Copies of this chain bind each other. A is one copy, B any other.
Amino acid sequence: MSDIPQDAIQCLDKGFIRLVDSMGGDDAIVQAARVSYGKGTRKVSEDKGLIRYLMRHRHTTPFEMVEFKFHAKMPIFVARQWVRHRTANINEYSLRYSEARDEFYIPEPEHILYQSKLNKQGRAGEVPQDLKKKVIGYFKEMSKKSYAIYAALSEAGISRELARAILPVNLYTEWYWKNDLHNILHFLSLRLDKHAQYEIRIYAEAMAKIIVEIVPIVYEAFEDYVLNGMRYSRVEQSLLSKHLPDRVIGDILEDLSYQITATLQKNKPRYNDELYRLYQKQGGSDSETDFLLKWTSGEIETGNVREMREFKSKLQELAG
């Protein structure tokens, strides 16, 4: 088993994750997408826009063209959750071939919490100091005792594959884990979630820190659309829609008309006298005077035209 290497991010008390190798970055996704779209996509000229478009519309295959290989060390109970992501390739330290090492996860006091009543699989509620101490004491005692017995069995020559059955799941294990970006993002969307167990979330956060360096544009789109997106069901939408005054939607649409105009102007500047017509084309309904007032206020944000147009059609659907 490895000690924490210099290029690794420490996770929990004795674990870590580090990048071993990777293949491709933001540009590899664009490259792969352009094979699919061929000549036809010359207009989607900007790489960032293309990547965001792919993310927004669940065109997942280009994201599979980037590959990461990590080296990680974590408690067995974390590995047991992690291994359920089946597209990954794994080579794990084998306790049939090799001796277990005396390395066990002992929780920090601040992560020892009560069972949540609301969430069947969560923890919630502060535990008194003395109970925390007791828990830590138990963890240390069981780790020490089980390892001592394991070592004794091993010393006596008992087969490793049997002797290891006595070791608890807070024992550290270690593996190489290789996966493509699309499936890594899926892993992150589940394991960065606040409902994920703290002990695996720590690894997901470290993994995110590593990949954001290599695919910054993808990661930003992932945050905007997946991590911080929100899904409304049919019933929820109809409740929202029933109560939403037309005026509210009208206001947002008006805002979008300004923002689209400003973005188009930024991308390809026009003469000033064309701007009001451009704004009207985007569905804007203010008078020219009001338009000029707002235009010169310096308060109009810009964004991605395609994205804003898609939002307009969502709102129109919501308005019914």
Contacts and interface: CB of A to CB of B under 8 A. Distances in A.
Interface of A: 1, 20-24, 28, 31-33, 35-41, 56, 58, 61-62, 64-65, 67, 69, 71, 75-77, 80, 83-84, 86-87, 89-94, 96-99, 105, 107, 111-116, 120-125, 127, 131, 134-135, 138-139, 141-142, 145-146, 149, 152-153, 156-162, 164-170, 174-176, 178, 180, 190, 197, 223-225, 228-237, 239-240, 243-245, 248, 251-252, 255-256, 303, 307, 311, 314, 317-318
Given A231-B225, A245-B245, A146 B120 contact: no
Contacts of A62: 91
- Number of copies of this kind of chain in the complex: 4
A149 B138 contact: yes
A93 B35 contact: yes
B230 A231 contact: yes
18 contacts: A33-B91, A35-B93, A38-B98, A39-B99, A40-B97, A65-B69, A96-B122, A113-B158, A113-B159, A115-B157, A124-B159, A165-B169, A166-B169, A169-B169, A230-B318, A235-B311, A236-B311, A243-B248
Contacts of A234: 223-225, 228-229
A160 B142 CA distance: 17
A98 B35 CA distance: 10
A178 B65 contact: yes
A162 B139 CA distance: 10
Contacts of A318: 230
B168 A146 contact: yes
Nearest to A111: B162
A233 B239 contact: no
Question: Which of A92, A236, A307: most chain B CB closer than 10 A?
Answer: A236
Nearest to A34: B91
Nearest to A134: B156
A130 B97 CA distance: 26
A94 B115 contact: no
Nearest to A173: B80
Contacts of A36: 91-94, 97
Given A35-B91, A61-B90, A115-B159, 8 more contacts: A39-B98, A67-B178, A115-B160, A168-B169, A223-B234, A239-B255, A240-B252, A243-B248
B166 A139 contact: yes
A246 B273 CA distance: 39
A23 B67 contact: yes
Given A84-B90, A135-B153, A157-B115, A64 B178 contact: yes
Given A94-B121, A115-B158, A303 B75 contact: no
A170 B58 CA distance: 28
Contacts of A157: 114-115, 125, 127
B178 A127 contact: no
Contacts of A86: 86-87
Contacts of A98: 37-41
